[in-house]
Each structure stands twice: as C-alpha cells, then as structure tokens.
Amino acid sequence: MAARLMDGKAIAAEIRQELMVSVAAFLEHGHPRPCLAAVLVGEDAASQVYVRNKQRACEQVGIDSQLHRLPETTTQDELLQTVGNLNRDNGVHGILIQLPLPSQIDETQVLDAVAPLKDVDAFHPTNVGLISQGRPRYLPCTPHGIQQLLHRCEVTTAGRHAVVIGRSDIVGKPMAMLLAARDSTCGPAVANATVSVCHSRTADLTDITRQADLLIAAIGRPKSITADMVKSGAVVVDVGINRTDEGLVGDVDFAAVREVASQITPVPGGVGPLTVAMLLFNTLSAARHQHAHQNGESPRS
Ligand code: NDP
C-alpha cells in the first residue's frame, strides 16, 4: 500500500494560523509588531524567490518585513556594516542573511556578526551551543519544522532508530541533535531517538538506511534514496530541493519509495513550507526575547 503523504504545506498553513493568533495577542499586550529584516546580496534567482516567499509569509501572520538588497560586488566590510546597523536597530527583531553569499564574502564571519538575540536562523555559535546543551533559545528552522511535521503526523521517535543523511550545519547536524535530545518543543515523544548520521564517507550506506524507522535525507542529490534503501514501513522525510529538467525534485525517489514507506513527504510541498513557518515562529520569539531583555522580564511574558 502506498505511504501516507505528510502534507507539509497544509501543516505549515496550520502553524501560520496559530502564529497569526499569537502575533495578535503579542500586539494586544502593547508590544511592538515583530519585524524580520532580510539581507539579500546579489541577483541569485532562487534566493530572490525564497526571500519573496518569506516576506509574503511574514505579511500573512502580521509580522513586518524589510528587504536590504546589496549588489553582487558588495565587500565584506559593507555587508558587516549593514548587519551592524540592523543589530543596533531596535525596530528589527530578526535578521536573515539569505545564503549563498557571493564568493568574496566570508560567510562564517557574517553569520557570526548577527546579534545572537536576532539570529532567527539559529546559526550563531551561541545559539548552537545552547541547543547542544539542551536549553535552546531558537531552533534552526528546517529541523524544527521537521519536528513539528513528525508531531502533527503522530510519528513517535522516542526509542526508534533515526537515520539522518547529511551533516551540514543547517540541516543534518542540528536535526541529529534535536532527535537525540531528551525533550523537544513537541514533548519527549518527538525526541529521544537513537540517531545515526551518514555522509559522503559513510561505508555501506544502504545497510544503515535499511535499519531506519525514520529516514531523513538532506543530501542535495536528486532521487539518491531508492526503494531498496528503505525498510518496509519506515517514515521518510525528504529535505532535498534539487532543480532538474523535470522541475523541483527531492533527494528521495518519491514514486518508488512511496510503495515501501508508511509515511513520506513530497517535494515540493513537504519540508520547504515548514522551514518558512518556523522562521516566522522564531521572529515572534525574537521579538519576545528582545522585549524581555530591554525590560528585564522573562521572554515568555
Ligand atoms: P550540504 O551540501 O551542506 O550537505 C549535504 C550533505 O550530504 C553533506 O553532509 C554530504 O556529506 C552529504 N552527502 C553528499 N553526498 C552524499 C552521498 N552520496 N551519500 C551520503 N551523504 C552524502 O547541503 P544542505 O544540508 O545545506 O542541504 C541539503 C539539501 O536540502 C539540499 O538539496 C538543499 O537545497 C536542501 N535544503 C532544503 C531546505 C528546505 O527547507 N526544504 C532547507 C535547507 C536545505 P559530506 O559532509 O561528507 O560532504
């Protein structure tokens, strides 16, 4: 029987609806409207689409957004100056540096320059450190979105074997950390997994993926997870977004794996919309944190 579809688009719409209510409540308490500032350097077509989608999503839930467009030839100093200005601007709560950056820019130095309280992507070493110690301030958007997806599709990970393919700082590594943690924003049932992390140097990848109760593919290679790599009844989450002649394609051979898995995410319409929804979630959290920081209160108020 074909796997049940995990409809990321519908779940993201549900989360945005919840956020709209939370933003309205935040404003009713007299707090300023949360604001996300996106920094886009250069003319990358995909990046422009991503930023536009994020801005539109902000509007839908009542979050303000700003777009700071810089030319492809921007220098490191100019970009750091822009980030510094946004750090100092009390009207900006979240800063998003759209990746990739042009080759003359040192990406790590720029991401490290974002004030940790405004780091809504959760890339700053301070925020990564807090996650690794089990006391997160912000969660990285894609792994957090996947956790929400699993929770809302009633997938339990506690005691299960989760295999994450990919060890990037953006997806694979934080995903593994969240799954192996003792608790999550959705409770301990969507944490406490036994986690294997695979990468390009993994020997016998298929041997490992076939043991997975939950398989998360974040590789960036179209259709590289085939049906023979998946245990019958496994839950399969496809993070990959690959532009091919066939259009957008995931890392999983969807048509074939769907016949083996119990639940599976499509591409597009799976993880992508959740990543955007959790960026909005983090922007509201950032506004709460900054309000609390300025007033010496708890961020939950
Ligand atoms: P990276 O290129 O940073 O990481 C890819 C990972 O896959 C690396 O760890 C790499 O191993 C591993 N890998 C590459 N080839 C193989 C292989 N043959 N077998 C096993 N592992 C392999 O990519 P990202 O993590 O940034 O993104 C992954 C994918 O997810 C991309 O398609 C990206 O577009 C997409 N993405 C989607 C998002 C969404 O919202 N849906 C958000 C972010 C990313 P090694 O470390 O050894 O090089």
Q: Which atom of ligand 1 is nearest to the CA of 242?
A: 32
Cα(169) to ligand 1 centroid in Å equals 10
Does 93 share its domain with 148?
Answer: no
Task: Read off the DSSP letter of residue 278.
Answer: H
Does 176 share its domain with 262?
Answer: yes
Cβ(139)–Cβ(190) below 8 Å = no
Does 152 share its domain with 267?
Answer: yes
What CATH number is associated with residue 61? 3.40.50.10860
Does 145 share its domain with 96?
Answer: no
What mean pLDDT is reported for the chain? 97
Q: How many CA atoms does the CB half-sphere of 241 hold within 13 Å?
A: 12
DSSP run (H or E) holding 285: helix 271-295
Ligand 1 first shell, C-beta below 6 A:
142, 165-168, 170-172, 198-202, 205, 218-221, 239-242, 271-272, 275
pLDDT tier at 297 (50, 70, 90 boundaries)?
A: confident
pLDDT tens per residue across span 79-117: 999 999 999 999 999 999 999 999 999 999 999 999 999
List CB contacts of 86: < 8 A, sequence separation 6 or more: 37, 39, 68, 92, 95, 118
Q: Mean pLDDT over residues 189-211, rounded?
A: 98
Collapsing DSSP states into helix, strand and coil, what is residue 215?
A: strand
Cβ(208)–Cβ(163) below 8 Å = yes
Q: Calculate what percentage of the chain has a pLDDT beyond 90.
A: 96
DSSP run (H or E) holding 11: helix 8-28
Collapsing DSSP states into helix, strand and coil, what is residue 150?
A: helix
Catalytic residue among 7, 64, 119, 121: 121
50, 241, 271, 278: residue to mutate for ligand 1 pocket, most atoms within 8 A of CB: 241
pLDDT tier at 300 (50, 70, 90 boundaries)?
A: low
Give me the domain span that covers residue 236. 140-272
- The Cα-based distances of 227 to 253, 256, 258, 261, 280 in angstroms read 7, 6, 8, 9, 35
What CATH number is associated with residue 191? 3.40.50.720
- Number of structural domains (the chain) is 2
Q: What is residue 301's predicted lDDT score, i.e. its pLDDT? A: 42
What angle do the packed helices 141-152 and 172-180 form, to 10 degrees? 50
DSSP run (H or E) holding 97: strand 94-97
Task: Read off the DSSP letter of residue 36.
Answer: E
Does 172 share its domain with 250?
Answer: yes
* Residue 15 included in any domain: no
Cα(223) to ligand 1 centroid in Å equals 13
* Residue 20 included in any domain: no
Does 107 share its domain with 57?
Answer: yes
Q: What is residue 298's predicted lDDT score, i.e. its pLDDT? A: 73
Q: What is residue 293's predicted lDDT score, i.e. its pLDDT? A: 87
Q: Which atom of ligand 1 is nearest to the CA of 165?
A: 21
* Residue 294 included in any domain: no
